[in-house]
Chain A
C-alpha cells in the first residue's frame, strides 16, 4: 500500500544515503558539544539527583564549598 506512493518519488533510493549523511554530522556535533562543555557544568548536572526536597539549602552550601 505504501509502495504505490513511494515508487512515485524519483530516486527514492538516495534517501538512505541522505539519512546517513544527515545523521553522522549531528552525531559528531554532539560529540564535540559534550567534549567542549566545561567540567563544573558537568558536575552540576551530575549532582541533580542529590539536591532533593528539604536538603535544598544543604546542597547550596556544598556547592559553595566546591
Chain B
C-alpha cells in the first residue's frame, strides 16, 4: 500500500476559531443591548444608528452568520480534513473563505447601522453584500468538494453529507431570496411583491434555520460528539435516515411562518403537515446523539465538554418538538407575533448552537495546541452559567408571550376588548423583559469566562500550524471492482447534485402555484400604487426597520379586527416590494393605521413617543424631523417599480418629483394648521404620508359602495 505524507491545515481552523469567539462576543453584546433597550428607551441614545430597529437585525445577523457561521467553518475545516484524510483542496480558497466572510460581516455591521437594509429578516444585507456572500460561499463549496475529490478515505462519513447539503441548500436559498432590483449602490427592491415575497422570505428564513443552524451543526454533532465521548455514534443506520428524511421534509415546511396570513390556505396546510412530520427525523437525530453516550454517562459528570453536548442535543430535541407544535394553527394563533417565538428561537440558538459551539471549542483548542484544557472547573462553571442564563432568558419570555397573547384576546362580558390599549399589554410584561435581560447577560458572562479559559489553554500549549500526518493513497479505479469504484470517486459531485434536486423539488412545489399568483390572489381594484412621497416614506420605514417591532398583517380573528380593523387581504399587498408583514408585535400592528390618527399625532409621536403614549417603549425618532428627504433617485425608483410590474404610467417618473412636493406641501400645511411649523422637505412628512396611506385602499372601496 502506498503511504502518502501530507499535512492538515490547522492555521485556517485557528483563524475561524478566533473569529467565532470575537464575533460571538460582539453578537451577544448587541443582543444584551437590545434586551435592555426594549424596556429602557433611553438606551437607544436618541441616535439613529443605535435604535432597536437597526440593532435587532445586527444582533440576529451577527450571531447567525458571524458567530455560528465562523463556528461552522472552523468545525468543518477541522473535521473534513480528518474525515477525508486530506488537506483542504486549496489554501488560497481557504483564505478567501476566511477573509471574505469577515469582510462581509464588517460590511453588514456598517450598513445595518447606517440604515442600509432590505428589511427581509436574516437577509437584510443589500445587493452588493449579497453578491459577496454568494461568491465567498461558492469558494467554500468548491474548497470542500475539491477536498472530497482528492480524499484518501473511500467512504464519506455522515457528517460530510450534512456539510454538503448545507452548502448546496444555503447557496440556493440565498440566491433565490436575493432576487432584487438595484436602484442605487445601496438600495434595491425585491423582485417579489406582497404574498409572493413573504413566501420566498419565509421559505428562506425557515430553511436558513434548517440549513445554517441545523444541518451543519448536526454534521458537527456526528463528528465532535463521538470524538469527545470516544465511541462511535450509536446507530449509523439511524444517522443515514436522519439525514435523508430531514432534507426531504425540511424544505417544505416554510409556510408555517405565515399561518392565518393572507397566504393561500393550501400552502399553510402543506407547511403544517410537513412540520409535524419533521418531529420524527429530528428526534431520531437527538436520540442518536444522546445514545452515543450510553455507558459513558459517568464521564458526563466529570467532562465539561460532554455536559455542553448533552444539553445542546437536548435543546435541539426540545426546539424541534416545539417547532412543529407551533405550526399547528391553533397554537400558532396564540403564539405568533409574541415573545413566545423569540423564546422558541433562543432554545435553539443559545442551547443547540451556542452550547454545541462551546463544547466544540473546549475540545478543539486543547487538541490543536497539543495540551490539556486550562481549567475543566472553569469550563464547568461556564456550562452552568450558560444553562442558567438560557433558562432565565426563555422562561420569562414564554410567560410574557402567553400573557400578552391572552390579554390581546380578552373580551369583556359585553363583547368589547378588555385591553383596547395595546400599551397596557406591553407594560404588563415589562418585568419579564427585565428578567430576560439578566438571562442574556449571564449567557454573555459565561462566554467571556470561556475566552479566558481558551486563551490560557492556548498559552500553555504549542500550536502546530501544519500537522504532519500520513495515510494510504486511495486505490485507483482499475482494481477488481472497476465500476463501483469510479462511481464512488465521483460521489461527492453526484451527492451534491442529488441533494440539490431533492431540495429544489420541495422548493418548486411550494413556489410554482404561488407564482401562478393571478388565480391565488384575488385582485382588488381599489388597490393603487403608492404615490412618490408614500414610496419614499416606505423606504424610510424600511431604513429604520420599523418592521422589527410592528407587523402589517391583521389576522382574521375577532380580537384583531376589533383592535385594528378589517383583516388583511392578499390583494392589498400586490405593490409591496418588499413585503413588510413583520414577525413580531413589540408594538401594535400598523396595517390599518392609515387615517386612524391625525398628522399632528404622528409628528409628535415620532418626536417623542411618550408625549402621545405615556409609558411607551418606542425610541424617539426626532432626526426624521431634522433630516431632509433625499429625493434624488425618485424617478429611478418609479422606473424600477414599473419594471417590477407596478402600473405607473409611462413617463410618470418625470412628474413624480412634482407630485411628491405637492403632497408634501399638503401635509406640511395641515401640520401648520395644528400649530406645527415644519418644512415640507423633511423626512417626517414622507413617513407620515406612508403611515396615513397604510391599509386605506380598501376603505376607499367601502366608502364608494356606501
Q: For B232, what are the chain A residues with a Cβ–Cβ distance below 8 Å?
A: 43, 46-47, 49-50
Given A27-B248, A56-B470: A42 and B512 interface contact (C-beta under 8 Å): no
A48 touches B153 (CB 8 A): yes
B236 touches A42 (CB 8 A): yes
B467 at interface by CB-CB < 8 Å: yes
Of A1, A7, A30, A51, the residue contacting B516 (CB under 8 A) is A7
**Which of A16, A37, A43 has the most chain B CB atoms closer than 10 A to its own CB?**
A16
A49 touches B82 (CB 8 A): yes
Given A30-B240, A37-B237, A50-B232: A13 and B513 interface contact (C-beta under 8 Å): yes
Of B82, B241, B517, the residue contacting A3 (CB under 8 A) is B517
Q: For A13, what are the chain B residues with a Cβ–Cβ distance below 8 Å?
A: 513
Q: Give Cα distance in the complex from A34 to B161, angstroms.
A: 15
Q: How far is the CB of B502 from chain A (nearest CB, A)?
A: 8
Q: Give Cα distance in the complex from A34 to B158, angstroms.
A: 13
Please give me the residue from chain A that is nearest to B510 by CB atom.
A16
Q: How far is the CB of A59 from chain B (nearest CB, A)?
A: 11
Q: For A56, what are the chain B residues with a Cβ–Cβ distance below 8 Å?
A: 470-472
B186 at interface by CB-CB < 8 Å: no
Chain B 501-526: CB-based contact to A (< 8 A → 1; otherwise 0): 01001101100110111100000000
A35 at interface by CB-CB < 8 Å: yes
Q: Give Cα distance in the complex from A60 to B525, angstroms.
A: 75
A10 at interface by CB-CB < 8 Å: no
Within 8 A of B (CB), among A1-54: 1-3, 6-7, 12-13, 15-16, 19-20, 22-23, 26-27, 30-31, 34-35, 37, 42-54
**Which of B158, B471, B505 has the most chain A CB atoms closer than 10 A to its own CB?**
B505
Q: How far is the CB of A6 from chain B (nearest CB, A)?
A: 5
B647 at interface by CB-CB < 8 Å: no
Given A1-B645, A46-B233: A53 and B470 interface contact (C-beta under 8 Å): yes
B244 at interface by CB-CB < 8 Å: yes
Within 8 A of A (CB), among B481-516: 502, 505-506, 508-509, 512-513, 515-516
Please give me the residue from chain A that is nearest to B241 by CB atom.
A34
Q: How large is the interface on A (under 10, 10 to 19, 20 to 34, 35 or more residues)?
A: 20 to 34
Q: How far is the CB of B542 from chain A (nearest CB, A)?
A: 22
Q: For B469, what are the chain A residues with a Cβ–Cβ distance below 8 Å?
A: 52-54
Q: How far is the CB of B252 from chain A (nearest CB, A)?
A: 10
Given A54-B469, A56-B470: A49 and B517 interface contact (C-beta under 8 Å): no
A23 touches B191 (CB 8 A): no
Q: Give Cα distance in the complex from A22 to B504, angstroms.
A: 13
Q: For A37, what are the chain B residues with a Cβ–Cβ distance below 8 Å?
A: 237
A49 touches B512 (CB 8 A): no
* Secondary structure dominating the interface of A: helix
Q: Give Cα distance in the complex from A3 to B467, angstroms.
A: 54
Q: Give Cα distance in the complex from A35 to B241, angstroms.
A: 10
B158 touches A45 (CB 8 A): yes
B518 touches A3 (CB 8 A): yes
Q: For A35, what are the chain B residues with a Cβ–Cβ distance below 8 Å?
A: 237
B515 touches A3 (CB 8 A): yes
Q: Give Cα distance in the complex from A26 to B248, angstroms.
A: 10
Q: Give Cα distance in the complex from A13 to B191, angstroms.
A: 23
Given A3-B517, A31-B241: A46 and B236 interface contact (C-beta under 8 Å): yes
Q: For B603, what are the chain A residues with a Cβ–Cβ distance below 8 Å?
A: none
Q: Give Cα distance in the complex from A20 to B512, angstroms.
A: 14
Q: How far is the CB of B435 from chain A (nearest CB, A)?
A: 41
Of B83, B241, B245, B515, the residue contacting A49 (CB under 8 A) is B83
Q: Give Cα distance in the complex from A26 to B483, angstroms.
A: 22
B155 touches A49 (CB 8 A): no
Given A1-B645, A6-B515, A7-B518: A49 and B157 interface contact (C-beta under 8 Å): yes
Given A1-B191, A49-B83, A54-B470: A16 and B237 interface contact (C-beta under 8 Å): no
Q: How far is the CB of B224 from chain A (nearest CB, A)?
A: 9
Q: How far is the CB of A31 from chain B (nearest CB, A)?
A: 7
Q: For B502, what are the chain A residues with a Cβ–Cβ distance below 8 Å?
A: 23, 26
**Which of A47, A52, A53 has the most chain B CB atoms closer than 10 A to its own CB?**
A53
Given A45-B157, A54-B470: A15 and B248 interface contact (C-beta under 8 Å): no
Of A12, A27, A44, A49, the residue contacting B226 (CB under 8 A) is A49
**Which of A1, A45, A46, A54 has the most chain B CB atoms closer than 10 A to its own CB?**
A46
Q: Give Cα distance in the complex from A7 to B469, angstroms.
A: 58
Q: For A26, what are the chain B residues with a Cβ–Cβ distance below 8 Å?
A: 502
Q: For A6, what are the chain B residues with a Cβ–Cβ distance below 8 Å?
A: 512, 515-516
Q: How far is the CB of B517 from chain A (nearest CB, A)?
A: 6
B227 at interface by CB-CB < 8 Å: yes
A27 touches B244 (CB 8 A): yes
Q: How far is the CB of A64 from chain B (nearest CB, A)?
A: 15
The 9 closest A-B pairs by CB, nearest first: A53-B469, A46-B232, A46-B236, A48-B157, A16-B509, A2-B515, A42-B236, A19-B509, A3-B515
Interface contacts beyond A1-B644, A16-B513, A53-B85: sample of 8 additional A-B pairs, CB < 8 Å, sorted by A: A3-B517, A19-B509, A23-B505, A31-B241, A42-B235, A43-B232, A49-B223, A49-B232
16 CB contacts below 8 A, A to B, read A3-B518, A6-B512, A7-B518, A26-B502, A34-B237, A46-B226, A46-B232, A49-B79, A49-B157, A49-B159, A49-B232, A50-B227, A51-B153, A53-B470, A56-B470, A56-B472
Identify the B interface with A (CB < 8 A). Answer: 8, 79, 82-83, 85, 153, 155, 157-159, 191, 223, 226-227, 232-233, 235-237, 240-241, 244-245, 248, 467, 469-472, 502, 505-506, 508-509, 512-513, 515-518, 644-645
Identify the A interface with B (CB < 8 A). Answer: 1-3, 6-7, 12-13, 15-16, 19-20, 22-23, 26-27, 30-31, 34-35, 37, 42-54, 56
